[in-house]
Amino acid sequence: MGSIRNVRPSRSNQPWIEFLDNEIANGDPQTPRHAMAKIFRRSLFSARGCLPSDAALQLDSYYHDTYLPAHPDLKDEDDKGMVAFLSGLYGVVVDLMFLIPYHHGLQYTVIDLLYELRNLPPKEIKVGGKICQIYEEEPVLELTMKEKWVVNNPTDDGDPEEVERRWLAWVNVSAFAARCIEAGFADHFEDSTIIPCMDISKALEEEHPPGIKRNCLIRVAVQYIMIAGTKICRAKIGRGKTEEQQRWLEKWKSWAEKLLELAEQNELEPGLTSEVREAHGTMVALQPHLFKFKR
């Protein structure tokens, strides 16, 4: 990790830049969220950019050099104010991921940042009576993602342009969630595969009329499979010995067959069709014994 990517993040017309600028202009300056927005804007999202490792140091230094000194009473709390700090950090991160396209380099840059935070000297806090290591095992990222998923789960109500915006944002944040799973950031979650499997099932087991919703549901499914397929397969199927694992094997096979059907129908947009084929190949490669091939 730690490399600068040529992502050109500073164009003022980009929605993620507008989001950060709005947070800085209108947010409460006393909150960690406001500070996180300022640090992101001047580091990873500035015209010059910076290394994710440098941005990680700036974020961590804010907590020790600014936040704690301004709230000395936090030193007596079990979590030492870290939950509020992390809520601000992860809240900004996830909100940005709704806006940054699923294929944009900035998604990888933010994943790099989360890696770099984990590489900082380990620090332990107590949350809910349990000792945990910040950036590594604390529950705040999981709670933040669950809250954002519930609030932002797209619906078909409203103006068509707004509906399309919601579904495209769902693709973006789902790709980020897949990258978090693949990177191991969700290994300590109670079950990091619940939402991915729900969304894959919705895309590949339910019937949806052609349109933006169908396209986005399929794209969400293939992103989860291509990016985090190995982790999902391992979590749900394992060695395939239990009845539950056998049921997931059958589901895995039916998902792969549906992807092949979608690809062969050739009714999707070209870019999506190629992603569907790639996702099908990933599923076959992970469980090859499920599929018979003609020579």
DSSP 65-87: IIIHHH-GGGGGSSSTTHHHHHH
Closest-CA residue to 111 (of 58, 175, 167, 171): 175
SS3 125: strand
Confidence of residue 131 (pLDDT cuts 50, 70, 90): very high
**What pLDDT, on the 0 to 100 scale, is given for residue 7?**
45
pLDDT at residue 171 greater than cutoff 50: yes
DSSP assignment string, 185-231? TTTTSS-TTHHHHHHHHHHHHS---SSHHHHHHHHHHHHHHHHHHHH
pLDDT at residue 205 greater than cutoff 80: yes
Whole-angstrom distance, CA of residue 182 vs CA of residue 186: 8
Q: What is the pTM of this model?
A: 0.92
Confidence of residue 12 (pLDDT cuts 50, 70, 90): low
Percent of the chain with pLDDT over 70: 95
Whole-angstrom distance, CA of residue 186 vs CA of residue 184: 5
Whole-angstrom distance, CA of residue 112 vs CA of residue 90: 14
DSSP annotation of 16 reads H
Structure tokens at 5: 């990517």
Average model confidence (pLDDT) across the chain: 92
SS3 251: helix
Question: Residue 165 in contact with residue 158, Cβ under 8 Å?
Answer: no
Surface-to-core class of residue 265, CB atoms within 10 Å of its CB (0-12 exposed, 13-18 middle, 19+ buried): exposed
Percent of the chain with pLDDT over 90: 86
